[in-house]
Amino acid sequence: MAKSHNLPTNREVRLCMAMSLDGKITAEGDLFPNFTSRFDRHKLFSLRSWADALIVGAGTVRGENLPPLIRDPALVEQRRKNGQSDHPPVFILSNSGNLPWDQGYFHQTETKVHVVSPAERDPQTPDSVTWVQTTRTENLPQTLTRIQDLGHRHFLVEGGSRLAYAFVQQNCIDRLYLTLAPHFLGGKSNPTLLSGPALQASLWVLEQSETHQSELHLVYRHATAD
Ligand SMILES: NC(=O)c1ccc[n+]([C@@H]2O[C@H](COP(=O)([O-])OP(=O)(O)OC[C@H]3O[C@@H](n4cnc5c(N)ncnc54)[C@H](OP(=O)(O)O)[C@@H]3O)[C@@H](O)[C@H]2O)c1
């Protein structure tokens, strides 16, 4: 299988994000609590079903409080038949190790939650949460290898904006699953797809495009994955 140069050959890392026509990935207030279609939600569940580990930024967990489940019984059943857990485990990347432990996210039993952090385990961390200790100097390829060594090789990165930036900047994404939703969201402080300093231009090759009503679904492969 084709791989980008920062990744070993036996794993694949996918990034799945949705953005508005003005490139925003979230809406202010309750105006568009969920700005994509049911079709898009199902695409997300399918990608989660493909994955054996989900990766998410601490900012998203703090902001959304939504455990990443596969809300489609047929996909869950298929995973069971494959000998997999109903829902893939989630790895929350956090430099601070500071997470809202009271949130329901950390007290559900459907998804195994790991925190990947260079910080010491917070004494408030619920017992059910596994702490994966990293180092301050570790980069994302090294962190991916660390998670891969726990037995995972199909990774789905679910954002948000700063974590997605870091994965792209460090050449860790093989495929981007992008939804372009037919809305403008505006909002000066709303993040766009990637938040971070300027990037070196690198080529992404369009592999698939599909429209669902007025929503556009694109799959791009990183060109260095040839
Ligand atoms: N439309 C979509 O597809 C989509 C998907 C996901 C999220 N979102 C939205 O995105 C927003 C959150 O995005 P965000 O940029 O604020 O936060 P984020 O990217 O979810 O998380 C950033 C945090 O991740 C941790 N982190 C660990 N290693 C990192 C690294 N190498 N690079 C960057 N971060 C690292 C840090 O946590 P510590 O602060 O703990 O050190 C950092 O503050 C929310 O509004 C959410 O709703 C949208």
Specify if 7 maps to a domain: no
CA of 92 to the centre of ligand 1 (A): 10
- Model's pTM, two decimal places? 0.95
Please confirm whether the linkage preceding 63 is cis (ω < 30° from 0).
no
Atom nearest to 117 CA in ligand 1: 27
**Poorest-confidence range of 19-23, 24-28, 167-171, 173-177?**
24-28
Q: In the prediction, which pLDDT does 151 show?
A: 94
Specify if 2 maps to a domain: no
Q: Which domain holds residue 27?
A: 12-225
Task: Answer whether residue 225 shows pLDDT above 60.
Answer: no
Q: In the prediction, which pLDDT does 27 show?
A: 85
Task: State how far the alpha carbon of 219 is from the alpha carbons of 31, 81, 165, 205, 224, in Å.
Answer: 28, 27, 17, 8, 15
Specify if 20 maps to a domain: yes
Q: In the prediction, which pLDDT does 1 show?
A: 42
Instruction: Collect all residues with Cβ–Cβ distance below 8 Å to 126 and sequence separation of at least 6.
Output: 101, 106, 107
Which tokens go with 92?
A: 């929350």
Query: What's the total number of domains in the chain?
Result: 1
Specify if 63 maps to a domain: yes
Specify if 73 maps to a domain: yes
Q: pLDDT tens digits, residue range 187-200?
A: 999 999 999 999 99
Q: pLDDT tens digits, residue range 6-45?
A: 656 689 999 999 999 999 999 877 666 689 999 999 999 9
Q: In the prediction, which pLDDT does 18 show?
A: 97
CA of 60 to the centre of ligand 1 (A): 5
Ligand 1 and 166: CB distance under 6 A: yes
CA of 213 to the centre of ligand 1 (A): 29
Residue 33, domain CATH = 3.40.430.10
Q: pLDDT tens digits, residue range 60-88?
A: 999 988 899 999 999 999 999 999 999 99
Specify if 42 maps to a domain: yes
Specify if 6 maps to a domain: no
Specify if 4 maps to a domain: no
